[in-house]
Every structure is written in structure tokens, then in C-alpha cells.
A and B are shown apart, each in its own frame.
Chain A
Amino acid sequence: MARYDRAITVFSPDGHLFQVEYALEAVRKGNAAVGVRGTDTIVLGVEKKSTVKLQDSRSVRKIVNLDDHIALACAGLKADARVLINKARIECQSHRLTVEDPVTVEYITRYIAGLQQKYTQSGGVRPFGLSTLIVGFDPYTDVPSLYQTDPSGTFSAWKANATGRNSNSMREFLEKNYKETSGQETIKLAIRALLEVVESGGKNIEVAVMTKEHGLRQLDEAEIDAVVAEIEAEKAAAEAAKKAPARES
């Protein structure tokens, strides 16, 4: 199999595109990212490595705006992300210019996924090493959406999803605990999922909330700490409740 991973255009005998699979490995090594869709709120959360003390954290925004109503978080090679995000931002404005309408979430996801696919079928280039979580509200219909793309260029819509490090554990948690939520409940669910794999604390996670009225809002450390405290209190109460009946019998 080692002979079939030099040029991306080459299939292996058993139908694999190794470069794409290696790119997915790069994603699996990237920071954890989670997205949860509520009825009126969509939340994106990303793990933040807190070992960099001298770095100005404001210059490393991991959740970005593509347009007033669309936001993106990603896991994987951040430099590749810059390129994709830039192209997506241009496409958002270009779409507004040519058809006088903002993009729908599906349109821009399809565009980004299309770009990622192009780089799996061109000579001399390697795939983008990142998976993206794209959220937003469709213009006019106000329907909230969450989409995920990956290095192969596939995309699909999700109620909640996770990517990056330990995404399987987060996804399992979400599958067990997902229910239709709105507002603060959606934020709590997203942070709970992240806390499954990340050290708890406001300085280890970056959370952004998208609503129809206020667009994308980054939560500051204090707000995140408050929600984390709430979650821990609930967990402690649940533990105590579990222990109490056992003692009675």
C-alpha cells in the first residue's frame, strides 16, 4: 500500500484515496470542535490549548464569521483553514453582489465542500487538512442549520456533531443526550459535550452563539465559567441522587 500514496490522483488497488485518508488523520489530531443546532440558537464550541501564556489570544479566533448570518469552526490544519475561509468570505459577498441575496447555509457549505473536493482531483496539490462545522440561519426562512464538511469534499446536515480530537466520544455523548433545545439549553448541551473530552474551565474552550437577531456572539471567559459551574453542580446533584437511594435500601 505504501506505493499508492505519493500522488493524490492515484487510486490504490482496493479503491482508497490514501491522501484523503491521511488528511482525515490530520483532522483527528486537530483540536476538538462541536456544533449543536437548537430551534432558535446554534452553538459552536472549540477546544483551546491553554499552554500558550505569552500569546495574545484575541489574534487566534477559532470560530469565525463568513457573513452576518453564517459562522464556521474547524478542526485540523489552521493554515489551510485560512485559505478556505478567505475563499468562502469572498463567495458570500460575490453571491450577494450577483443575486442580491445572502447565501443560504447549504449553498456556502456546498461551495466549501466543492473546493475541498477539487483539491482531491487535481495534479500536484494535496487535500485541505480540515473538517469544518458551518452554522447559520437561512435568509428569509430563518431556518437554523448545521453542516459538516471533510477533506474528501462530502458534506451533510446535522442536528449536532463533533470533529477533531476525541470526536467519537463527543458524538456518542450527543447521540445519548441530544434533544430539541433553545437558547441557554443549547449552549449548555454544547459545552457539556466539549467537557467530555476537554479539561473543564473557561480558558480551555472557546464558545460562540449564533442567533437570528444578534448574529454571532463570542462568549467571554466569565460566561463560559458560569455555565461550566452550572453543569458541574448538576453533575454533582445527579451523583448525590444516585448514591442516596442505594444507602436507603
Chain B
Amino acid sequence: MECVFGMVGKEFAVVVADSSAVHSILVHKSNEDKIMLLDSHKLMGASGEPGDRAQFTEYVQKNVALYHFRNGIPLTTAAAANFTRGELATALRKNPYSVNIVLAGYDKGIGPSLYYIDYIATLHKVDKAAFGYGSYFSLAMMDRHYHKDMSVEEAIELVDKCIIEIRSRLVVAPPNFVIKIVDKDGAREYAWRESVKDAPSVA
């Protein structure tokens, strides 16, 4: 029941992901970070097969870094999205990755952008995106309340509304979420929304 969603605001983009790592009926951990920093100004939130998720996002991250060293300038968000889609497409009919991705980035001169990339290499540039069962609720919530050029406060309010819907309406709702934001100052963690914390270790 992994949830990843994101939206574009005024001069920033935000990506939210649940943080539970689940195997069958067991929750391994509930503070797993599923949003990877591709570089200083890009976020890649991913959901799907845990092994593929980690492996594929790290692979994209290292290739983005390699491009930066080879060419002296970083990839644009659009280029990174197209590279990611290309890798998924190449692997699709041989050895497919089961990963759904929401890619957010900020480019000087272009502003914030968000890309929806699903596991069969669909690529869409969008204002709001969501994956998983949680998408039924978060997409509906965003369709109702989203408008262009929201401020950070408005966007986080909307994110919290989505999280509340997921928590209350999804049968096996993930307890904790991580919110990351990217703007002209870079990509960084914004907040956690935790309803279940790890038990404090015995001294």
C-alpha cells in the first residue's frame, strides 16, 4: 500500500512518500526514506518493488552525477526525466523494473517541474501526480483543492489533507510520511508526518 504523490507550487515542487517498508504481513521499518535526492535540485520519489526501487533510483542518481562531471553542468529536470524513462523503456521487454516514480526538480530560468513516470515507462509532465492505492484519495483531494501558484503553506496544507484522507480511508494505511521540497535553494527534507514512532531503546 505504498503512497507517493507530489505537486507543483509557486517556484517550488513538493513530493510526499509513505515510509513503511513492508514484506508480506510484516512491516520491516516505518521510517524508510523513499524520496531520493538526485542532485542538488532534483527529487525522485519512488514506489514499488523495494529492491528495484533502491537499485533503480541509485542507478539514476549516479548517472546524473556522471553527466555533471563529464559536462561541467547538471542535467535539467526534463533531461533527467527522459533519461529515467529511457532506462525503464530499455529494460521493459527484457528485465523490467517495477518502480513508479514522481520526479520533481527546479531549473534556473525554467522554474519548478514535476514528472509522472510509471513502471512501463510512461512519461508525463504534470502539475500533480500520485501512485498507489493512496492515489485514489490524494488525487481526488488535489483535484478538489489544487490551484496554480500555491504558496508553500497552502501546498503543505493540501498535502496534510491528502495524508489525512489516506490514513482514514485506506484499509492498510501507512502510518508515517516524509515530505521533501525543491526550490531555487535546492532540494531538501521538509518534514515528517509520523503517527507511529519507533519504541525508545532500553537504556
- Residues of A at the B interface (CB closer than 8 Å) are 61, 65-67, 86, 89-90, 92-94, 96-97
Q: Is the CB of B59 within 8 A of A90?
A: no
In Å, the complex CA distance between A61 and B62 comes to 23
Report A-chain residues with C-beta under 8 Å of the C-beta of B72: 61
A90-B66, A96-B62 known, 9 other contacts, Cβ within 8 Å:
A61-B72, A65-B69, A66-B69, A89-B66, A89-B69, A92-B69, A93-B69, A94-B62, A96-B65
Interface membership of B70, Cβ < 8 A: yes
In Å, the complex CA distance between A89 and B66 comes to 7
Report B-chain residues with C-beta under 8 Å of the C-beta of A66: 69
Q: Is the CB of B59 within 8 A of A67?
A: no
Report A-chain residues with C-beta under 8 Å of the C-beta of B65: 93, 96
Could you tell me the distance in whole angstroms from the C-beta of B173 to the nearest C-beta in chain A?
31
Interface membership of B58, Cβ < 8 A: yes
Report B-chain residues with C-beta under 8 Å of the C-beta of A61: 72
Q: Is the CB of B62 within 8 A of A93?
A: yes
Q: Which 3 A-B pairs have the closest CB atoms?
A: A93-B62, A97-B62, A93-B66
Digitize B28-64: 1 where CB-to-A-CB distance is under 8 Å, 0 elsewhere: 0000000000000000000000000000001100110
In Å, the complex CA distance between A94 and B70 comes to 14
In Å, the complex CA distance between A66 and B70 comes to 9
Q: Is the CB of A89 within 8 A of B70?
A: yes
In Å, the complex CA distance between A96 and B62 comes to 8
Across the interface, name the chain B residue whose C-beta is closest to A95: B62
Could you tell me the distance in whole angstroms from the C-beta of B59 to the nearest C-beta in chain A?
7
Across the interface, name the chain A residue whose C-beta is closest to B68: A65
Q: Is the CB of A93 within 8 A of B63?
A: yes
Could you tell me the distance in whole angstroms from the C-beta of A105 to the nearest C-beta in chain B?
16
Give the size range of B's interface with the partner.
Answer: under 10
In Å, the complex CA distance between A87 and B66 comes to 11
Digitize B128-167: 1 where CB-to-A-CB distance is under 8 Å, 0 elsewhere: 0000000000000000000000000000000000000000
In Å, the complex CA distance between A27 and B62 comes to 33
Report B-chain residues with C-beta under 8 Å of the C-beta of A97: 58-59, 62
- A–B Cβ pairs within 8 angstroms, 13 of them: A61-B72, A65-B69, A67-B69, A86-B70, A89-B70, A90-B66, A93-B62, A93-B65, A93-B66, A94-B62, A96-B62, A96-B65, A97-B62
In Å, the complex CA distance between A225 and B59 comes to 43
Report B-chain residues with C-beta under 8 Å of the C-beta of A90: 66
Report B-chain residues with C-beta under 8 Å of the C-beta of A67: 69
In Å, the complex CA distance between A96 and B58 comes to 9
Could you tell me the distance in whole angstroms from the C-beta of A7 to the nearest C-beta in chain B?
33
Could you tell me the distance in whole angstroms from the C-beta of A96 to the nearest C-beta in chain B?
6
Report A-chain residues with C-beta under 8 Å of the C-beta of B58: 97
Across the interface, name the chain A residue whose C-beta is closest to B63: A93
Digitize B74-98: 1 where CB-to-A-CB distance is under 8 Å, 0 elsewhere: 0000000000000000000000000
Report B-chain residues with C-beta under 8 Å of the C-beta of A65: 69
Across the interface, name the chain A residue whose C-beta is closest to B55: A97
In Å, the complex CA distance between A90 and B63 comes to 9
Report B-chain residues with C-beta under 8 Å of the C-beta of A93: 62-63, 65-66, 69
Across the interface, name the chain B residue whose C-beta is closest to A61: B72
Most B CB within 10 A of own CB, among A61, A86, A92, A93 = A93
Across the interface, name the chain B residue whose C-beta is closest to A66: B69
In Å, the complex CA distance between A86 and B70 comes to 7
